[in-house]
Amino acid sequence: MGEGRIVEAFIGEYASGKSENAVNRALMLARAGRKVTLVDLDLVEPFYTLRPIARKLEKEGVRVIAWETSETMGLGEAGSVLKPEMRWALLAAGDVILDIGYGVHGAKILNMLEGVDQTPELKVYAVINIFRPMTSTVDAIVEFVRSLGRVDGLINNSHVGEETTIEMVCQGARVVAEAAAKLGLPVIATSALKPLAEKIGPRDCVGNPVWPLQRFMDASFW
């Protein structure tokens, strides 16, 4: 993990698991004793908000910057409005984790932040679920990632909810690795719900770190 400041933005197709990865990454860092700010920039669909789980996260040492649900009512797809705390989030002390909206629109949100070009620590990770239509094949992943603009690495989060098997995760790992090679990008990790991740361990089918996920986003739909 290193001692330097960590600034990571998570992006992906709808239902890729990018928000779960962002939340769990923030918790991973906080549990390691680091100062962490988690920023909810998923403004493509404002009814998904981190506010319902903010108190729980803050009890574990994660500062959360997010809209209140009542503040986003009626904004719909036009809800790409940044609170001042969001716009200046990259200047916060300590680590910063950004949960940005899905697809190309989400990528544009990142460029609205102050200091984005003056934050050398910033890494943008695309979360890939091969069981989603826009990222189901190697060529589809390559096209999708290229459409996002800047991406520094891929995360394999191939899943079909509770029915996910180790074989599905391994299939995703192979496809994502092939796409990453074509893109010239590293695969940062494979993520899966904790009970499944504990069974995967260091299996050869993955070939990169396994991040166990605790499910939070079910409580974040208002």
Q: What distance lies between CA 126 and its chain's CA centroid?
A: 7
pTM over 0.85: yes
Q: What distance lies between CA 75 and its chain's CA centroid?
A: 23
Instruction: Tell me the average pLDDT of the chain.
Output: 86
| pLDDT tens per residue, range 99-144 | 987 777 777 888 889 999 999 999 999 999 999 999 999 999 999 9
Which among 123, 120, 107 has a CA at the least distance from the CA of 13?
107
Task: Classify domain 7-213 at the CATH class level.
Answer: alpha beta
pLDDT for 44 equals 61
H or E segment at 153?
Answer: strand 153-156
Place of tokens 């009890």: 59
Contact indicator for 19, 42 with CB cutoff of 8 Å: yes
CA distance 65 to 149: 25
Between CA 174 and CA 177, with CA 176 as vertex, the angle to 5 degrees is 65
| pLDDT tens per residue, range 122-132 | 999 999 999 99
